[in-house]
A and B are shown apart, each in its own frame.
Chain A
């Protein structure tokens, strides 16, 4: 009975239902859309961070990650690599040699971050060959291949096939020079990367800096559903302590990125909560007005024998219906927005912004898309629903206490 009355009341006051409902629907839809755009951006940032770090879990010589010191290497790397690969939950262990050095040609020299890699393994994380614009990516028969970023190639006025000298420090601290031939050029779109990045094969890199039997890094990819934390613990146990290695999860490796995402999320939450307050004020107001406006009608119900509590319940029932309707509309709005954004994307590049550096991770391709994380949508839904219903509580209490005679006086 009360429910039927509540439902009909909602349709009788269409203008009010529409205005109130639209405020809730608008807020809810926007919240959902904002959440999924943010979550998508953050997900991609963290993905980029994992790729930039080199894996879900990273193994180095102790202290390497912090100092990038050329003498902190993984010695007896074959056994370490084998043990890591056999650890439960490890999908793949990727060996790397990382060299920070100078590349020189006749027209000058420039710093380079050279990675000695196995291309066929790197594909499992991210394929650096995707950015190849000229030549080949470490696939020809040369023993001293070198792929450089396009910025570096321009800086050194290089052409494919040119000789390039690498100067770097070997693990013993000796300066070594090694000859490479430029076989490929990559362009990532991020200027800072293109001016420093270089790739060669792991064998050529080992030759260049005298690191036979050694590695700079083992990047570990987790199997499906395996969390990096527990995996790092198992890997750490597997490699043992005798080799003086450090084992880091990617979150430990790029804590700044994780911090930035947390901070960005926190600001988003503050923004949303304050907006919710704005909406709650207007909803409470409207409910209160609805009560006053209908004081005579409610007085009539009272006179007909409906008790105060039931009148309060009637208003709560109306609120529940209204909230349900509004949130259904908001869901359509939010989901529609999500579909549109995830299909078309919102490009920031249109305003000339092409790359952002956050905590050493370069983000290019600045187009926002949208990803739904169901648990986050659910949390937002509960928050909006709870707050809306809560905002009707005071007016409902007020209505239930309103005696008809007093009601009339209040109205005038």
Chain B
């Protein structure tokens, strides 16, 4: 029986290929071995998997929470007020004065709209003035807009809570001018649709502007700057009020991708022959400047930067604790299996392969635990992304503003693929690193005394 086998099987000798030299082969078995070893002590592996899973799940949930927070902030800050890109005259950027306007040129507007990533653009005038009635008055930010273009560019028309948005065309004189108020201004003046107001302001030529207004609507946008101060008015009415016939202060541009606002700003600047950077004082000579929202609202941009930096602090805290768990398990496991390791090395397993086998084991631990964590972390985050997190469970008062953006009751998470994969990948790396010490110790075992039970 033996002889026949011997003749049929090629001679296995020292000249045969080494397992270490055959890619994939050894690892495949290592994975199998790792899984079996992990199944060997279910309690131990189960608890460690749970710790790893909770850590990964927590990270995914926290990252989605923060991203949701950031997105809310960016959207709240940009959608209504700044849009994604704005165009001003260079001197207006330097210091906004009523008279630092530029011509509302339809060719210019068309050129902007022709830039591929631009969805819409809204020319605006901005004036500071008092509005009020016979009882009281308030300071307001008077925004002259083209109602159609503005509602295409920002969701302001959807934010109307009482009355309606401005009609496409201004009323014929001498009727009172149509205005839409921010909810805060309306509350402070205690007016609503149908009420009349008077505005008073200083025009671009230094004269005093004065106009009779009628409130047609109230908006609540979630942007505190708009809600507390804004008064929307037809562009042509605002031009008349501010003695700025044919002139505008800014063009707000809505683009396809918020995240690519910088690139789009450059493209627009090229299309209209403007500067795309914040001007230095020396270059302020007139001309136009195109700026993405990140430059208009540097505070928000920095906030995002700081938040994203702080993710690594989170990783550090959460994963160090998980790593201690993995380290512990692997150390215990290695101690328990010393004899077994001794035998394996005595029959010819190289220390390097021993090390690799054990590292594969920790990687599997991290991967399986991480995958479980991914599953429930993603599920929970997805739930909070679609249904929102009810913040009133956590605090009595949940209406507050943060960086000029109103938050209320529900916070919608943002679940990104990267924020699911990254916690998993980092966990596998952390697991392997924390398994390194026990694995090195195991690979250093001296087989003879270990088998004899002398160590």
Contact = CB atoms under 8 A, between A and B. Distances in A.
Do A and B have CB atoms closer than 8 angstroms in the complex? yes
Given A173-B137, A278-B318, A356 B403 contact: yes
The secondary structure that dominates the A interface is helix
Nearest to A71: B136
Contact of A284 (B47, B65, B130, B398): B47
Given A26-B324, A70-B136, A278-B322, A289 B332 contact: yes
A260 B309 CA distance: 22
Interface stretch (B54-62, B158-166, B263-271): B54-62
A102 B139 contact: yes
A259 B188 contact: no
A351 B306 contact: yes
Nearest to B393: A266
B321 A279 contact: yes
Contacts of A111: 128, 139, 141, 229
Interface string A258-288: 1110110111000100110111011011101
B395 interface: yes
Contact of A278 (B54, B138, B224, B402): B54
Interface of A: 15-16, 19-20, 22-23, 26-27, 30, 66-71, 100-102, 104, 106-112, 154-155, 167-169, 173, 175, 255-260, 262-263, 265-267, 271, 274-275, 277-279, 281-282, 284-286, 288-289, 292-293, 348, 351-360
A26 B320 contact: yes
Contacts of A23: 321, 324-325, 328
Contacts of B224: 360
A27 B321 CA distance: 7
A353 B331 contact: no
Contacts, number: 208
Contact of A169 (B43, B132, B321): B132
A353 B303 contact: yes
A173 B133 contact: yes
Contact of A155 (B51, B96, B306, B321): B96
Contacts of A292: 336
Interface of B: 43-44, 47-48, 50-51, 54-55, 58, 62, 65, 95-99, 128-130, 132-139, 141, 187-190, 200-202, 206, 224, 229, 298-299, 302-303, 305-306, 309, 317-318, 320-322, 324-325, 327-329, 331-332, 335-336, 391, 394-404
Contact of B135 (A107, A173, A257): A173
Contact of B128 (A19, A107, A110, A348): A110
Contacts of A16: 328, 332
Given A111-B139, A262-B395, A175 B48 contact: no
Contacts of B202: 102, 104, 108-109
Contacts of A260: 395, 400, 402
B303 A69 contact: no
A238 to B, nearest CB: 28
Contacts of B97: 107-108, 155
Q: Nearest 6 CB-CB pairs, A to B? A: A259-B397, A282-B325, A266-B394, A262-B395, A256-B400, A281-B51
A65 to B, nearest CB: 11
Contacts of B335: 293
23 contacts: A69-B135, A70-B137, A70-B138, A71-B135, A102-B202, A110-B128, A154-B95, A169-B138, A175-B130, A175-B132, A175-B200, A259-B395, A262-B396, A265-B395, A271-B58, A278-B55, A278-B58, A282-B48, A285-B51, A351-B302, A352-B298, A356-B402, A357-B404
